[in-house]
Structure 1
């Protein structure tokens, strides 16, 4: 029993007539009759009784029809699924994210994406940047966002060079400065990341080059708790613009003022993909959304990173 025979049988069952079935299938009446006869010959039992030029399905035909209808229902579901995939409306997306952007930046992007793709399912996991790289390399994420310090095996990277900015308590005297420098921050209480972090190294270097003292009052592993310390007036913190964008999205800028810092301290992030796994249409669509948002954070004086 092939698909054409099933299609002819189903059409006759639905219309009760070979001629009407032929019209529905855009075939000739003899062609449909031959397919039904061929099907009966192949399966070894009669499907229709012919009385006064009308067809009456046998009990066997009614039973077979329920099975055939289930097949066509499944074919219809598959067709709809194909349309959803074509329109990026169906699928499962696995996303990895370093801690800072997982607070608001990435959830907002995912929420916007799901608003436009209501049938899509997403898993977002937060890990350190090193953990993100390991999981992406083993294809456990379709896409990830992490801080980049160099090349990584088994990973494709789209790099974005951002610049850190200073978070200053709103009532602090430095909040009125247009740009903060090592000279203005000389011996001021500072909140930094752990000593081995690339931003901490860069901050030490610019202060040493300027002959200024970097006075660290607090160290944190991530920038999110540092924001609370700045709010409490415990110091100034040089932090990445993604964390700043997440904080500003909640409309809490009345407690913290963000100021440019010179000389520039770079913050390099990347959209990561497993190198040996083809990107789904869904992954590509979400990547474009992440890419656009990161581009908006690239300083105007910089060229937009290539893909």
Structure 2
């Protein structure tokens, strides 16, 4: 029996007549009658006793119906799984990201999708760009998010958001009274500076090549989280990426945008040789929405001189 025959036989068993089965399946009554006759001929057994417009199932029909119900439930499960796959459920996605992107936006996107699709699986790793390129190139990861542009065939990139610079400081600092802080004011404070070879250090040096006096850089770090921890402890002020500043617990630390600070793009990276699943596409869209929400947040500061 094929699936259409199973469907017709089941409808007839449920309704007790070919006319009602036809209405249930939205087909003609003669078509149902012909199908039942064909099934009986094919099986070589009588499935129904005919009389007075009704069909009385034979013992053979009841035995067959028990098996048909199991098949039908299996078909329903297949259909349910197909619908779940279409919307992202029942899938797995391996996500790579540079550290600052894993502090808020990507965790919120993963959390939202994990709650929406409880049978999905997410593998999330913090990776440097070099390892991200390797894993994506050989298909051992599905999608990456990077604060640095990546030009490495066959990988493709797409800008999905941006971050800027913020000044972090201990709560109660005078900067807390400002909506944004200029570099002219920042350089008057004891500075927690990034090493020159870090992305943050290069960005500050390129944006303000002559503004910062190395003699005022009392402490040097390589991590935005370490800079925030030191600022929260009162060791000085630091210029960090806005993503790290936003994600840090603010019971001891405060931050303000750096006035007229440049923006840096964030990129989605993937290997086009491996098609994206619905779950991966949903994740990328949630991350994109997260960055849109950042842009709709408070203004980056009042207009004015940046030094």
Structure 1 length-normalised TM:
0.78
Does 2:176 correspond to 1:179? no
Q: Which residue in the other structure is 1:127 paired with?
A: 126
Deviation of 1:155 after TM superposition, in Å, equals 2.4
Q: Is the 1:156–1:273 Cα contact (8 Å) retained in structure 2?
A: yes
Q: Which residue in the other structure is 2:219 paired with?
A: 217
Distance 1:262 1:55 in 2: 83
Instruction: Look up the SS of the partner of 2:210 in the other structure.
Output: helix
Aligned residues: 293
Does 2:247 correspond to 1:246? yes
Unaligned runs of 5+ in 2: 302-307
Classify 1:300/1:153 alpha carbon distance in 2 versus 1 (closer, same or farther; 3 Å): farther
Deviation of 1:216 after TM superposition, in Å, equals 4.8
Q: Which residue in the other structure is 1:256 paired with?
A: 253
Distance 2:185 2:118 in 1: 54
Deviation of 1:123 after TM superposition, in Å, equals 0.8
- Let me know the Cα RMSD of the aligned residues: 3.3
Classify 1:257/1:27 alpha carbon distance in 2 versus 1 (closer, same or farther; 3 Å): closer
Q: Is the 1:199–1:267 Cα contact (8 Å) retained in structure 2?
A: no
Distance 1:173 1:26 in 2: 75
Distance 1:202 1:51 in 2: 86
Classify 1:6/1:176 alpha carbon distance in 2 versus 1 (closer, same or farther; 3 Å): closer
Distance 1:296 1:51 in 2: 67
Q: Is the 2:109–2:287 Cα contact (8 Å) retained in structure 1?
A: yes
Does 2:178 correspond to 1:203? no
Unaligned runs of 5+ in 1: 302-307
Q: Is the 2:136–2:155 Cα contact (8 Å) retained in structure 1?
A: yes
Q: Is the 1:22–1:29 Cα contact (8 Å) retained in structure 2?
A: yes
Instruction: Look up the SS of the partner of 2:106 in the other structure.
Output: helix
Does 2:249 correspond to 1:228? no
Deviation of 1:186 after TM superposition, in Å, equals 6.0
Which among 258, 274, 279 is matched to residue 276 of structure 2? 279
Q: Is the 1:181–1:263 Cα contact (8 Å) retained in structure 2?
A: no
Distance 2:27 2:172 in 1: 82
- Runs (4+) of structure 1 exceeding 6 A deviation are none
Instruction: Look up the SS of the partner of 1:135 in the other structure.
Output: helix
- State the Cα deviation string for residues 63-99 of structure 1 (Å, max 9, x = none): 3222222222222233334444555566444332322
Q: Is the 1:240–1:267 Cα contact (8 Å) retained in structure 2?
A: no
